[in-house]
Chain A
Amino acid sequence: NAGVTQTPKFRVLKTGQSMTLLCAQDMNHEYMYWYRQDPGMGLRLIHYSVGEGTTAKGEVPDGYNVSRLKKQNFLLGLESAAPSQTSVYFCASSPRTSGSRYNEQFFGPGTRLTVL
């Protein structure tokens, strides 16, 4: 199994350009997440999805949109990139919660995005 994969690994954008980051998982997980990591800030949740066709906002959703058309894929879109969106983006997935058990998240390798 490849686990969680992210495309692309690196990208440089100019202010105002748009792009889509792709996340794919082959573990049949129900839940998927997008985080950003900035220096001194840890990882912060942007958007998440608890199933195909459903999405919800996390801590820092402004300036981003997401779609979960297929269970295995979770797309993160930037419609008009800004320098403040320069960051490392991580996708994660986890199985559905069942009872009191917590299922940990599995992370992809990250996408380093620079907005000039």
Chain B
Amino acid sequence: DQQVKQNSPSLSVQEGRISILNCDYTNSMFDYFLWYKKYPAEGPTFLISISSIKDKNEDGRFTVFLNKSAKHLSLHIVPSQPGDSAVYFCAASPKTGANNLFFGTGTRLTVIP
């Protein structure tokens, strides 16, 4: 059973506008949440993360919001750029010693110039 869900397989946004990618999770034991970005024929690369004790983390154009009561997190990209076009994976980790990650199915973002 998928513990981390990304219900939107794809998203198209105009350059300069905001991109909002959503993620839901079911396991209340998840303690840390991450977003990875993946280009074709490459491995995922880490983008931004948030601990369960926070509700927002910002890094340049990227902001992640966490709503623990709703078991929902989102990634905001402002302004969106054509180079942001990629597949974005949401991932979550329980509070264990091995950093194990549970991934969502991914959302393909296309930023239109």
Contact = CB atoms under 8 A, between A and B. Distances in A.
A27 B31 CA distance: 25
Contacts, number: 65
B39 to A, nearest CB: 10
A116 interface: no
A26 interface: no
Interface residues of B, number: 28
B43 A50 contact: no
Interface residues of A, number: 29
A48 B100 contact: yes
Contacts of B93: 102
Nearest to B93: A102
A48 B98 contact: yes
B100 A58 contact: yes
